[in-house]
Structure 1
Amino acid sequence: MHTRTVILASTSRYRRELLERLRLPFDVHAPGVDETALPGEAPRELARRLALAKAQAVAARFPGAVVIGSDQVADLDGQALGKPGNHERAVEQLRRMRGQTLIFHTALAVVCLDAGFCQQDIAPVRVVFRDLGDAAIEHYLRTEQPYDCAGSAKSEGMGIGLLEAIESDDPTALVGLPLIRTCRMLRAAGVDLL
């Protein structure tokens, strides 16, 4: 049994819900990290940098805890698509994504400062979008309101209907937290669920 506190460095309700599946007691703290991309930063590197920055920001406040940070960036031909934030940007994103193949880079970092522990990984998810008409996009957005999801794609809900295919070796990565990798890193940090 583990003795260290586990903290999720996130404000995402989706990541919280995913981590709850593990039936592991954990706290949640907002990392307060600026998520703006650096000039010329590739989507994969943006996700990696932000996941680590989130974990490190919270670990600085709780150095004895095992802190989980994660970030997801949708990659459309090398261009980062983040959370749309509103309806108009979501429509724009989905119009650009229809009929396209994107990579959703879901980055993960687990940090425990007192133990000198830091691991990172990325779970790429290849997603093929259907060629949807404007009416279907509007219906989806008005019903699901996925304005807090990278690329407006809420695959765990009605958004699954946007897709032709999903390819991943970590099935929860598209939702926002790759649980297989999370369990592996937690074990390496001394926190074993089983």
Structure 2
Amino acid sequence: MATRDFAVRTENHVANLTGLGTLEFVPEVFGDEFLDGYSRVQEAQRAIGGEEDLTKMDPATLREVYGSMREFLGSLMTPESAERWLRFEVIKGAKLVDHYRSRAQAEEKAAEEGGRVVDKSMRVPDRVLLELLEWTVELYGGGNDRPTTPSSGSSRASRRAGTPGKASSPSKASTRTAGRSAR
């Protein structure tokens, strides 16, 4: 009888956002959940086409793209982190009625209550949002058949091909630089 051990990650991935605290992501996700969420992000990104100039984009479309990225990331977080990451409060008068992780759910409740929605989600720069997205895709969708590595760890450098030599580097050779005098 053959036996094979399969490692399953049990510790959360941790993203340290300097100055904002940490966000914890669940150790493992099921492939279909990951793919369903990520496909929604890709659909939203296709809506902007290849446009790179944000000033030329429709603000509603751009909001949809960012919203889908935030929802996708929130779906991979622990409940405590997701609560900080996505928080839409329904306010009626000056009173908090309820809060949701989905803007759509909050807007539905606000319409029922005659209130308004206030976005109290964690704010991060666009570049950080994109870096988090790339990081989670590497963690969960990297195609590795081994558990993902700790977020605090990094891959070891690849071994250099060949053997170290004793020859001098061309950059260390004595060369004159234009505009400088030799002293």
Do both proteins adopt the same fold according to a TM-score greater than 0.5, normalized to the shorter chain?
Answer: no
The TM tier, using the shorter chain, reads: under 0.3
Which structure shows the higher strand fraction? Answer: 1
Q: Which has the larger radius of gyration?
A: 2
Which structure shows the higher helix fraction? Answer: 2
Q: Given the two structures, how large is their TM-score scaled by the length of structure 2?
A: 0.24
Q: Given the two structures, how large is their TM-score scaled by the length of structure 1?
A: 0.23
